[in-house]
Amino acid sequence: MSMIRGISDRNVLDEFAEEVCEIVEKHVKYIVVSGFVAISHGRTRATEDIDMIIERIDKKKFGELHDDLIENDFECLQSPKMEDIYEYLEAGDSIRYVRKNTFLPPEMEIKFCKDKIDEMQLKTRRKFEFTGLDIWFSSIEMNVAFKEEYLGTDKDMEDAQHLRIIYRDSLDEKEIQKIKIMIKILRKNGKR
């Protein structure tokens, strides 16, 4: 794998994402999903946040992860109190970490795995040599399906189109359709 590159090869988002992911990986299984997947595959657009899904963990384990992030100069925007942050996660909310003493993006938006699709996303997570990044992502099929079936904005459709071109020869269309059906069943209250 050609994942060891110079700092100059990485942009602000790459550096932020790799730093957070390296810490999170020590405590819990995670995946990065959505916009950053497309951007790290060469899509030319910016984003303020990177979306991450983590396995459900208990408060003690989350406390260890939170402490590690704090020790490495990140802070949670919603609250400095671990108990409060954990409550947000438990309630199905996402929490946002940024570099300490700045309220500026980029930020890592973290949420708990919430259903069978998220479990499947975690189970089928991938690292993509194409990106040059040492980060676990959800599969391309998952991202394409979610963007086309669930999110559906111009930006999302363009992300999906970009990924479809990059992985033209290897994309599993049947899998995408299967995931789209799961989305329809499990996320009926979704946007589309």
111 binds other proteins (CB under 8 A): yes
Contact residues for 172 (Cβ-Cβ < 8 A; gap 6+): 141
CA separation (Å) from 16 to 7, 31, 77, 79, 174? Answer: 12, 15, 16, 20, 34
Contacting residue, 78, 99, 124, 171, with other proteins by CB under 8 A = 78
11 binds other proteins (CB under 8 A): yes
Contacting residue, 9, 73, 83, 90, with other proteins by CB under 8 A = 9
Least distance CB 99 / other proteins (angstroms): 12
Contacting residue, 96, 137, 139, 140, with other proteins by CB under 8 A = 96
**128 φ/ψ angles, rounded to the nearest 5 degrees:** -110, 110
Looking up tokens 């479990």 gives: 119
The residue (of 26 and 139) whose beta carbon lies closer to other proteins is: 139
- Contact yes or no for 178/120 (Cβ under 8 A): no
190 binds other proteins (CB under 8 A): yes
55 binds other proteins (CB under 8 A): no
Contacting residue, 26, 100, 123, 191, with other proteins by CB under 8 A = 191
CA 22 to mean position of chain CA atoms:
13
Q: Which among 106, 177, 184, 104 is positioned nearest to 150, based on CA atoms? A: 184
**43 φ/ψ angles, rounded to the nearest 5 degrees:** -65, 130
CA 145 to mean position of chain CA atoms:
15
Using CB under 8 A as the criterion, which residues of the chain lie in contact with other proteins when the complex forms? Answer: 9-13, 33-34, 39, 41-46, 51, 53, 77-78, 88, 92-96, 103-106, 109, 111-112, 114, 121, 130-132, 138, 142-143, 146, 150-151, 153-154, 157-158, 161-162, 165-166, 168, 187, 189-191
